[in-house]
Every structure is written in C-alpha cells, then in structure tokens.
C-alpha cells in the first residue's frame, strides 16, 4: 500500500538535528531515571554514582557493540536481593559503608564475565546454539513476565502521597493523585497515537509535562505539594550529596569478596533471557521502521546476540568498577523507542552523556526528584504494558505454535513462576528448600531447563518417526 506521507522516525545510524536530539535524549533519561534511582535506594548504593554509572556503562555498551545496537543500560532489579545480602542495606535508609559497597562491587564486576562468556560461546558456535537454549517461547515469556511483574509498582505509585498530607486531607490527596495519574496516562497514549511530526516523537515527555503541570495546579489549589522542590534538601543526607551545586559522584573501588561472587554472579544467568528478549524486540521494531520508511537497509540486530551479551557484561564491569549496581539494557527505554520510532544511536549516546552531567549537578537531580509519583505511575502503566506486549510480539513474529503442548508447557510455567513469585512474596523471592530464589530468575532458569529436557524428548520422537 503506497502513501505520500513520509514515515517519521530515526534508524540506528541516523542522527536527529541537535535540538531534537537533546529533547529525545531527555525523554530517554526520564523513563530510565525512576527505576535506576530506586535500585540505588534499595541496595544502599550512592544515587549520584548509580546515575553516573548508568550513563558511562551505556556509552561503553554502545562503543563495544560498534554502535550497532541502540540500547540503554540501567540498574537491574534482578540483583537487588543478592546485593542487599552483601551490603545489608535497609530500603531507603541511605548509602551503606564503603567497604560493603566495595565487596558487592567485586561480585558485580565478576558477574560481567557470565554475560561475556555467553556472548563468546554464541560468536564461536553460532546463533543457532543459543536459540536452542533460548527459543522465542522463553524470551517472549520472560519479556511478558518482566513487564507484568512491574504492574504492581506502576499501580502503587499514585498511592504514594506527598509529605504534609494529614488524615483530614488524605482522601482528597489520594483522589487528586489518581486524577493526575489517569490524565498523565491518557495524555501520553493520545499524544503517541495522534500527534504527528516531531511532537509525535516525544509523547512520553509531553505526557509527563501534562501531568506535572496538572499536579502543580491541583496541588496549589488544594495546598498539597505534589511537586516537592524541597525534597532534595530533606533527603540530601540520605543521598550523600550537597543540597545545591556541583558535586562529583562518590566513587569506590571493588574489594575482593568471594561471598559476593557466590551471591551476585549467578544472577547474571537470569538477565541473559531478558537481554535476548530486548534484542529480538529491537530487531523487529527497527526493521519494521526501515520498511515503512522505504529504506533498502536491513538491520540484522538479532544476529548480534553474542555482541549484545558481551556489551552487557562490559556494562556490568564498568558500573561495578566505579560503584554502581549491576544492570542490563532497559525495557523502559526500548518501549519508548518503539512508541516514538526513534532508535538513533547518537541520540542514546547523548542521553548517556547528559545522564552523567545530571549526576554531578544537584539542582538537576532535584528537578527530577520533584516529579510526582502519580505522574511516574501514569507513564509506567503504559511503558510496563508495552514491555509485556513486546513479549507477545516476539512470539507472533517467530510464529510460535500456541497449540503445541510443548510450547504451552514452557510458556505457562514461566508465566506462573515469574508472576506468581513476584506477586505472592513482597520481596519477589520464592522461599523453597531452605533458601530464597528471585522469581524472574527462577522462571527463566526453570524455562531453560524444561525446554532442554523437552527438546531431548522431541529429538528422540523425531528419530523414532
């Protein structure tokens, strides 16, 4: 079907004009910021260092992958419990002692070797090797689990009320908070569907600004500080940064700890299906955009899985070496790229550099911290849902037979273990056999093992036939 209307969007090797690049980069930072900061607050790491590490690791990832894979690196929730077992951190209690962070760093740096080893195996033995271990039934299901496991976080954000709310004003504040959340969500959705041109490429940013302005108006009219600009002063001691001005992040170096290696390193196995799912999603969306733009280019991104995993490992090493948590490429950023049709690698490089600058200027971090939880919730409902939807897209594009009992067994068990474990236990850890296991990691590993077992049976069946 031909059309005279040009399809707007940027492919990985395309660079937006400078001003647009800055706006697009800011949008990427906004969607990355809440989760990355939250990981730091949960694990006892320094927030400014974690933000800086996210930007630096993103640059490392993009350069290692030859600027062929536009993905943003951020702190992963998969590692939170393992890191806390080393740091002994209490959520939101502030940074722990440097020696505890340093011990956890050692495990994080070495965990990078898991991803690198997996990447080298793929490069040595070919893509088919990993696709036998990680077929779309697994990568698609894990993507669904990741998106839906965050549903509780998205829905609870509007219930986090600002400081100063009394019992007398609690009901009003909650109602207004949900109003802000719903308006933010609907505005973001409508912007992403109906706006055209450059405006249509920044719906997340526009949705956030809409919610932010509404929060300012409703908050001022009712005496409720939804946008709290004093928050940075109140939490400066927790974040270990001065109240205003320029301050370099608090860097620490790793300290040998084999206990940290045992606790943290195995978690890297669980991030491989997550990273693989993101890569397959990226391949689908980028090539769809290329086709719609009438480009003859084909971006064989899914063929670069080995390089992607090596980049992930390098990212962990960079982050861990300077005092940041372990992470992976971010589904939130990928969702934003899919919605906005903007996969520009230079844009992501710009976002990474700006992220590092923000980590050093506390007024900028103060502005980000002033974003109401209700606004973040409205955007998160959309973004986290997109992550889950992309898992379905993977299975559709790979033509997974949903009537095949083997496929159904793998998909169903991953979904229930991952989602059930995430929602049944407050910490997302499944207690069994005298230990606790991360729900998403457990779902991924169980799915991989089940797939391998059922594959053996399938081969034997084929031979018998």
Q: What is the pLDDT of residue 286?
A: 93
**Percentage of the residues of the chain whose pLDDT score is greater than 90:** 34
DSSP one-letter code for 89 = P
Q: For residue 422, give Cα distances in angstroms to 66, 416, 417.
A: 36, 9, 8
Q: What is the pLDDT of residue 458?
A: 67
- Sequence-distant (6+) residues with CB within 8 A of 70 are 12, 62, 282, 337, 343, 344, 345, 347, 348
Q: Which of 89, 78, 429 is nearest to 266 (CA)?
A: 78
User: Residue 461 phi/psi, 5° resolution?
Assistant: -65, -40
Quick check: 333 and 58 in contact, CB under 8 A? no
CA 200 to CA 191: how far, in whole Å?
A: 6
In the 3-class helix/strand/coil scheme, how is 154-192 assigned residue by residue? HHHHHHCCCCCCCHHHHHHHHHHHHHHHHHHHHHHHHHH
Two tokens, residue 324:
């940041």
Mean of per-residue pLDDT scores for the chain: 84
pLDDT tens for 204-236 read 888 888 999 999 999 888 888 888 766 555 444
Residue 72's Cβ-side half-sphere holds a number of Cα atoms within 13 Å equal to: 38
Q: What is the pLDDT of residue 366?
A: 65
Is residue 47 very low, low, confident or very high in pLDDT (cuts 50, 70, 90)? confident
pLDDT tens for 429-441 read 788 888 777 787 7
Which parts of 223-344 fold into alpha helices (H)?
231-234, 236-239, 258-264, 267-292, 305-322, 331-340
């Amino acid at each position: 079907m031909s059309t005279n209307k040009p399809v707007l969007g940027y492919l990985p090797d395309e660079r937006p004009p400078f001003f647009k690049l800055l706006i697009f980069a800011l949008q990427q930072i906004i969607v990355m910021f809440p989760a990355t900061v939250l990981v730091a607050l949960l694990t006892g790491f320094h927030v400014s260092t974690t933000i800086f590490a996210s930007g630096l690791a993103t640059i490392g990832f993009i350069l290692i992958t030859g600027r062929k894979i536009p993905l943003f690196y951020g702190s992963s929730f998969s590692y939170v419990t393992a890191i806390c077992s080393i740091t002994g951190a209490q959520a939101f209690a502030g940074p722990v002692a440097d020696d505890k962070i340093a011990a956890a760093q050692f495990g994080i740096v070495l965990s990078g070797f898991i991803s690198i080893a997996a990447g080298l195996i793929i490069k040595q033995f070919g893509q088919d090797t990993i696709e036998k271990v990680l077929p779309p039934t697994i990568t698609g299901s894990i993507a669904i689990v990741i998106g839906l496991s965050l549903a509780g976080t998205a829905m609870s954000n509007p219930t986090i009320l600002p400081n100063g709310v009394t019992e007398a004003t609690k009901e009003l504040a909650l109602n207004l908070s949900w109003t802000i959340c719903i308006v933010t969500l609907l505005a973001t959705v409508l912007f992403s569907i109906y706006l055209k041109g450059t405006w249509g490429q920044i719906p997340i940013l526009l949705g956030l600004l809409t919610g932010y302005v509404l929060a300012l108006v409703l908050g001022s009219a009712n005496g409720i500080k939804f946008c709290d600009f004093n928050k940075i002063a109140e939490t400066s001691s927790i974040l270990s940064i001065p109240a205003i001005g320029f301050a370099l992040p608090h860097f620490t170096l790793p300290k040998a700890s084999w206990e940290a290696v045992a606790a943290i390193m195995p978690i890297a196995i669980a991030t491989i299906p997550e990273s693989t799912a993101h890569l397959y999603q990226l391949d689908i969306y980028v090539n769809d955009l290329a086709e719609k733009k009438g480009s003859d280019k084909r971006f064989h991104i899914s063929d670069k899985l080995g390089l992607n995993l090596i980049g992930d490992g390098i990212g962990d090493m960079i982050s861990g070496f300077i005092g940041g948590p372990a992470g992976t490429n971010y589904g939130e950023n990928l969702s934003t790229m899919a919605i906005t049709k903007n996969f520009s690698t230079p844009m992501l490089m710009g976002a990474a550099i700006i992220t590092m600058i923000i980590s050093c200027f506390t007024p900028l971090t103060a502005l980000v911290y002033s974003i109401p939880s209700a606004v973040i919730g409205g955007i998160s409902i959309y973004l986290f849902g997109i992550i889950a939807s992309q898992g379905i897209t993977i299975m559709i594009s790979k033509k997974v037979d949903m009537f095949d009992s083997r496929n159904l067994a793998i998909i169903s068990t991953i979904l229930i273990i991952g989602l059930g474990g995430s929602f049944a236990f407050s910490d997302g850890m499944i207690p069994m056999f005298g230990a606790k296991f991360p729900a998403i990691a457990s779902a991924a590993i169980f799915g991989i093992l089940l797939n391998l077992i059922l594959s053996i049976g399938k081969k034997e069946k084929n031979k018998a036939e």
